[in-house]
C-alpha cells in the first residue's frame, strides 16, 4: 500500500475553535530546521573554498544533513513500518544511497531542499485555512447578559440557551438568538457576503457575528457559542474537505501507482549497473531517477488549490463542501432554478380577492384562513397574514398537489388549485391573474364556489441581471416550479428565462434533473428543504439563503448563506477558475516528471540539480494553487460597498 502524500503523518482532527495554528512563516518546524540546515551547508561551502581541512567540511555537511533529514526520515520510516510508501520514502532512500556512495554534500542538499518544500506546503495550507477559521474570530470577547434584572459582562463561552443578551449599536453578536424586543438593522456582510443591512425585530432569528446597527435590542440565546452558525460552518467545511473531486482522486491514483513503479525502475537500473560492471555509476543514476520521478508536486497540486478556493468562498458567504462539489461545479453547463424562494423573495402577499355573487371578501378570506391555519406553506402564511385570528378548521386533510379540505362552522369546505375546484364564473378573472404572475386558489363552501384568492411572490430585483449574465457565460438556464404554467410562465418571462417546467411535484423536479443530466452536468438551486430530491439528484445541489438553516447546510453540496442571487454567477466563475488551476497543476507536474526522468537516466542531470528543480517546481505548484484563494469572482462591482469585517479577518 502506498501513500503518495508529501507530508508527515496526518494530524489528529481538530475541533473548530480559534487556535494559534502555524500561520506565520517561522512557526513551521520544517522551515526552522531547513534554515538551520541551509546555514550549515553555506558554512560548509565557505570553509571548502577557504581550504579548510576536509574533516571540518565533512562535519559541517553531516551537521547540515541531520536537522533537515529529521523533518521527513522518521515519519517515512513510521509509514514504511505500516506498509506504506510515499514521496518521503523515495527521498529517504535517495539520501541514504547518496551517503553510501560518499556524496554527503548531495545528501545534505537533497534533505535541505525537501524540508523547505515540506515547510512551504504546511505553511501554505495553514495560511489558506486561516481565512475560514477566522470566521470564529467574529465572536466578540465579551457579551452583556441580563440575569436577575442586572446587566453582567461575561465571556461568550459562558452563555447558555435562554440567556437574555443586550446588544447595543455597533456591538457584534456573540451567538445565535431570537430578537425579544427592539428593532434594528444588522450588518451580516462578514457572514453572507451581502452589504445591505438586514432589518430585524421581535421574533426574527439573528446570527453570531452580526453587527448591530441602528438600535439597542434584547436577544434570547438559542445556541451556545460552540455550536452556533459560525462554528457549524467551520466544522462542516473542515470535515467535508476530505471529500475528493475527480482531479484530486486522479492525482492520488497516479501518485499511488507511480511511487512503487519508481522503486521498481530504480532497482532495475541498479541491477543493470551490477551486470554491466559499473555499479557505482548506475546506482547513482538510479538514485537520481528516484528523485526525478518523485510525484510530490502532483500529490499536493490539488489539495492546496481546493483548500485555498474553499476558504475564499467561505469568506464571501458561500459554503462549499470540499473538492468534489467544487470541481463538479466547474464542469456544470445547465443551471436549474426553483421559483419560490430562489427567483422570488419568498414573501408572498394577497393582492386580490374575487368573490362569487352574494359573498363577501371577509368571509372568503376567513374560510381560507381557517383551512390554512396549521399549514407552513408560503401561500398559507400570506392568507393568514391577511385574516389573522381565525379559529382552525376541523378534520383538515391535505390533498397533495391539489389543496386542502376540512370542516368550517359545521360545513364542508375546500381550498385548492383551479382544476381541482371548478373556477366557474370566476374563470376569466382567474386566468387574468395567473397571466400576471399570481398564484390563484379557489375557495369552496358546502360544494359551492364562494371566491378566489390571488397571491403573488415578487421576483427578486437582481434576477433578470443574473439570468442574463448566466446566459452570456454559456449556461442553459431553466425554471422548475410547482405553480401552474400561466403563473410560472409570467414570472419566467419577467426573469428572462425561456425554458419553464411548471405544475411539478418534488419527485417531478428530480425526474427532470435526471433527464437533463443525460446531456450535461446540472446544478440545482433551491431552498434546501422542499427541493431536497432535486438537490440530491443534481450533480451539484445549491441551497439559497441557508444561513441558520441546519437542514440546508447539511444536505446541500453548496450553500449560499445570503439571499442575494448575484453570488451564483460569481460562484460558478470561481469554480471554473479553480478547476482550471487544478488541471494546470496536474498537467505541469506530470510533464516535469516526463522531462526529468530521461535527463536523469542518461546522466545529464545530477542528484543535486534534480532535487533543486523538483523542489523549486513544487514551490511553483503551491503558489499557483494558492491563486485560487484570491476570491476575485466574489469582489463587489464598482460602486458597491465593501462588506465590513472584524479586525484581523482577511478580506
Distance CA 630, CA 575 (A): 12
Q: Are 16 and 139 in contact (CB under 8 A)?
A: no
Residue 339's SS3 state is helix
Distance CA 536, CA 531 (A): 9
Number of other residues whose CB lies within 10 A of the CB of residue 10: 8
Q: Are 179 and 163 in contact (CB under 8 A)?
A: no
Which of 338, 527, 531, 539 is an active site residue? Answer: 338
Distance CA 41, CA 65 (A): 8
Cell numbers for 133: 477559521
Residue 205's SS3 state is strand
Number of other residues whose CB lies within 10 A of the CB of residue 396: 19
Distance CA 339, CA 337 (A): 6
Concatenating the DSSP letter of every residue in 197-220 gives: -EEE-TT-EE-TTPEE-SS-EEEE
Cell numbers for 76: 517515512
Distance CA 611, CA 388 (A): 76
Residue 421's SS3 state is strand
Q: Are 259 and 251 in contact (CB under 8 A)?
A: no
Q: Are 474 and 334 in contact (CB under 8 A)?
A: no
| Backbone torsions φ then ψ of 61, nearest 5 degrees | -65, -45
Which uninterrupted H or E stretch holds 132? helix 104-133
Q: Are 304 and 622 in contact (CB under 8 A)?
A: yes
Q: Are 4 and 255 in contact (CB under 8 A)?
A: yes
Distance CA 506, CA 312 (A): 33
Q: Are 581 and 128 in contact (CB under 8 A)?
A: no
271 Cβ contact list (under 8 Å, min separation 6): none
Q: Are 480 and 505 in contact (CB under 8 A)?
A: no
End-to-end CA distance of the chain: 42
Tell the residue number behind the cell numbers 421559483, with chain if given: 339
Q: Are 194 and 188 in contact (CB under 8 A)?
A: yes
- 3-class SS letters over 504-569: CCHHHHHHHHHHHCCCCCEEEEECCCCCHHHHHHCCEEEEECCCCCHHHHHHCCEEECCCCCCHHH
- 80: β partners: none
Instruction: Give exposure, 75-96, as e/b (b: 16+ Cβ within 10 Å).
Output: bbeebbeeebbbbbbbbbbbbe
Distance CA 490, CA 459 (A): 11
Distance CA 59, CA 63 (A): 6
Cell numbers for 102: 560518499
Residue 571's Cβ-count burial label (10 Å; 0-12, 13-18, 19+) is buried
338 is catalytic: yes
Tell me which residues are annotated as active site: 338
Amino acid at each position: 500500500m502506498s501513500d503518495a502524500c508529501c507530508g508527515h503523518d496526518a494530524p489528529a482532527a481538530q475541533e473548530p475553535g480559534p487556535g494559534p495554528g502555524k500561520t506565520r512563516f517561522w512557526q513551521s518546524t520544517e522551515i526552522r530546521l531547513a534554515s538551520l540546515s541551509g546555514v550549515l551547508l553555506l558554512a560548509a561551502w565557505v570553509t571548502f573554498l577557504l581550504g579548510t581541512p576536509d574533516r571540518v567540511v565533512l562535519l559541517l555537511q553531516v551537521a547540515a544533513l541531520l536537522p533537515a533529514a529529521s523533518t521527513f526520515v522518521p515519519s517515512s520510516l513510521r509509514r514504511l513500518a505500516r506498509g506504506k510508501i510515499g514521496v518521503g520514502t523515495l527521498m529517504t532512500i535517495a539520501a541514504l544511497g547518496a551517503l553510501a556512495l560518499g556524496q554527503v554534500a548531495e545528501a545534505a542538499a537533497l534533505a535541505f531542499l525537501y524540508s523547505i518544500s515540506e515547510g512551504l506546503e504546511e505553511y501554505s495550507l495553514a495560511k489558506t485555512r486561516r481565512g475560514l477559521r477566522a470566521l470564529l474570530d467574529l465572536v466578540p470577547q465579551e457579551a452583556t447578559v441580563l440575569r436577575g434584572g442586572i446587566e453582567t459582562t461575561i465571556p461568550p463561552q459562558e452563555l447558555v440557551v435562554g440567556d437574555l443578551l443586550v446588544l447595543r449599536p455597533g456591538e457584534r453578536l456573540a451567538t445565535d438568538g431570537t430578537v425579544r424586543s427592539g428593532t434594528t438593522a444588522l450588518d451580516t456582510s462578514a457572514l453572507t457576503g451581502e452589504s445591505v443591512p438586514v432589518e430585524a425585530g421581535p421574533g426574527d432569528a439573528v446570527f453570531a457575528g452580526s453587527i448591530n446597527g441602528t438600535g439597542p435590542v434584547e436577544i434570547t440565546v438559542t445556541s451556545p457559542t460552540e455550536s452556533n452558525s459560525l462554528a457549524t460552518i467551520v466544522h462542516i467545511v473542515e470535515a467535508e474537505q476530505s471529500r475528493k473531486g475527480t482531479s484530486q482522486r486522479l492525482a492520488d491514483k497516479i501518485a499511488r501507482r507511480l511511487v512503487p513503479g519508481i522503486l521498481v525502475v530504480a532497482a532495475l537500473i541498479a541491477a543493470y549497473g551490477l551486470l554491466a560492471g559499473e555499479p557505482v555509476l548506475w546506482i547513482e543514476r538510479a538514485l537520481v531517477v528516484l528523485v526525478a520521478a518523485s510525484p510530490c508536486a502532483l500529490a499536493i497540486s490539488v489539495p492546496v488549490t481546493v483548500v485555498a478556493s474553499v476558504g475564499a468562498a467561505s469568506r464571501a458567504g458561500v459554503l462549499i463542501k470540499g473538492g468534489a462539489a467544487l470541481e463538479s461545479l466547474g464542469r456544470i453547463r445547465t443551471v436549474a432554478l426553483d421559483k419560490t424562494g430562489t427567483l422570488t423573495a419568498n414573501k408572498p402577499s394577497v393582492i386580490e380577492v374575487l368573490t362569487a355573487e352574494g359573498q363577501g371578501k371577509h368571509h372568503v378570506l376567513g374560510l381560507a384562513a381557517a383551512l390554512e391555519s396549521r399549514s407552513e406553506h408560503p401561500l398559507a402564511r400570506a392568507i393568514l397574514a391577511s385574516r389573522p385570528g381565525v379559529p382552525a378548521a376541523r378534520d383538515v386533510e391535505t390533498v397533495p398537489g391539489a389543496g386542502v379540505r376540512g370542516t368550517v362552522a359545521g360545513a364542508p369546505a375546500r381550498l385548492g388549485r383551479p382544476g381541482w375546484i371548478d373556477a366557474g364564473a370566476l374563470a376569466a378573472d382567474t386566468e387574468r391573474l395567473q397571466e400576471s404572475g399570481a398564484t390563484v386558489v379557489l375557495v369552496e363552501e358546502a360544494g359551492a364556489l364562494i371566491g378566489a384568492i390571488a397571491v403573488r411572490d415578487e421576483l427578486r430585483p437582481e434576477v433578470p441581471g443574473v439570468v442574463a449574465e448566466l446566459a452570456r457565460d454559456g449556461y442553459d438556464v431553466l425554471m422548475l416550479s410547482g405553480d401552474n404554467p400561466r403563473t410560472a410562465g409570467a414570472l419566467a418571462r419577467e426573469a428572462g428565462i425561456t425554458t419553464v417546467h411548471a405544475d411539478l411535484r418534488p419527485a417531478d423536479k428530480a425526474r427532470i434533473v435526471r433527464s437533463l443530466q443525460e446531456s450535461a452536468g446540472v446544478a440545482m438551486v433551491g431552498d434546501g428543504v422542499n427541493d431536497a430530491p432535486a438537490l440530491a439528484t443534481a450533480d451539484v445541489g445549491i441551497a439559497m439563503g441557508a444561513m441558520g438553516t441546519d437542514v440546508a447546510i447539511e444536505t446541500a453540496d453548496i450553500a449560499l448563506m445570503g439571499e442575494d442571487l448575484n453570488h451564483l454567477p460569481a460562484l460558478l466563475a470561481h469554480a471554473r477558475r479553480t478547476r482550471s488551476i487544478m488541471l494546470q497543476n496536474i498537467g505541469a507536474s506530470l510533464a516535469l516528471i516526463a522531462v526529468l526522468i530521461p535527463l536523469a537516466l542518461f546522466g545529464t542531470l545530477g542528484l543535486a540539480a534534480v532535487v533543486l528543480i523538483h523542489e523549486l517546481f513544487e514551490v511553483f505548484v503551491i503558489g499557483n494553487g494558492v491563486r485560487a484563494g484570491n476570491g476575485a469572482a466574489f469582489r463587489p462591482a464598482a460602486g458597491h460597498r465593501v462588506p465590513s469585517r472584524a479586525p484581523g479577518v482577511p478580506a
